[in-house]
């Protein structure tokens, strides 16, 4: 998978470099090929955390608890990068680094919620009680994902963000780099989650071995 990801990254970078420059925003518009795919990765990471938490609560599968941790960590990374690229784009289009726009505010809240999830897992230590509480917390956090996506529609003209991307909303020559961006970052997301999931499984095995001694 690493080789496939590397090849996709090369094609993605080339597509972004050769993509046409927007006549209104200029070269800063090319963040479009990074920022939304990062958002989708953050949504996916937090969604998997919630779904894995539901399975853990229902069936007690510890591998799902480990998946929830791995997915939350990668989701926070994607969300952090989204919060970094967003202000850069905002500066180039709105003239300000930050505005308490509806989506920006909910995104920041989403980031804090899942950062708190990771802090909970880090400081509480591995225990069934912590795992159950974290699973419930992760499930409740699912509410913020659709809210973050549809908040533009809820606030209408009061939101500085443009409307959510739809079919045909991209200009000529922009579809391919945007598609490759989504594919490449999705592959990167799943690759990182898989690696982190393996690390968590090995950590559990090592902990069980230490307890047995």
- 146-199 pLDDT, tens per residue? 887 777 666 665 555 655 555 556 667 888 999 999 999 999 999 999 999 998
Q: Is residue 170 part of a domain?
A: yes
**Structure token digits, residue 86:** 């967003």
Distance CA 141, CA 11 (A): 35
Q: Is residue 125 part of a domain?
A: yes
Q: Is residue 23 part of a domain?
A: no
**Structure token digits, residue 130:** 């912590």
Residue 39: give the domain boundaries: 2-16+33-205
pLDDT at 77: 96
pLDDT of residue 29 exceeding 60, the answer is yes
Q: Is residue 27 part of a domain?
A: no
Q: Is residue 141 part of a domain?
A: yes
Name the pTM for this structure.
0.87
- CB neighbours of residue 64 within 10 Å: 20
Q: Is residue 199 part of a domain?
A: yes
Q: Is residue 86 part of a domain?
A: yes
pLDDT at 164: 56
Number of domains in the chain: 1
Q: Is residue 213 part of a domain?
A: no
Neighbouring residues of 93: CB distance < 8 A, sequence distance ≥ 6? 25, 28, 29
């Amino acid at each position: 998978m690493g080789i496939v990801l590397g090849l996709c990254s090369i094609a993605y970078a080339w597509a972004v470099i050769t993509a046409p420059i927007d006549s209104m925003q200029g070269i800063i518009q090319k963040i479009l090929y990074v920022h939304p795919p990062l958002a989708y990765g953050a949504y996916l990471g937090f969604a998997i955390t919630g779904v894995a938490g539901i399975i853990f609560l229902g069936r007690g599968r510890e591998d799902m608890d480990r998946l929830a941790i791995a997915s939350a960590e990668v989701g926070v990374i994607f969300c952090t990068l989204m919060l970094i690229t967003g202000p850069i784009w905002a500066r180039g289009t709105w003239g300000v680094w930050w505005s308490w726009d509806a989506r920006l505010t909910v995104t920041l809240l989403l980031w804090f919620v899942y950062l708190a999830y990771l802090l909970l897992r880090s400081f509480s230590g591995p225990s069934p009680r912590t795992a159950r509480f974290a699973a419930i917390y992760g499930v409740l956090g699912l509410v913020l994902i659709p809210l973050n996506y549809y908040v533009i529609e809820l606030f209408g003209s009061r939101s500085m963000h443009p409307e959510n991307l739809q079919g045909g909303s991209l200009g000529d020559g922009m579809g391919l780099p945007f598609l490759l961006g989504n594919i490449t970052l999705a592959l990167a997301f799943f690759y990182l989650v898989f690696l982190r999931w393996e690390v968590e499984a090995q950590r559990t095995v090592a902990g069980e071995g230490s307890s047995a001694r």
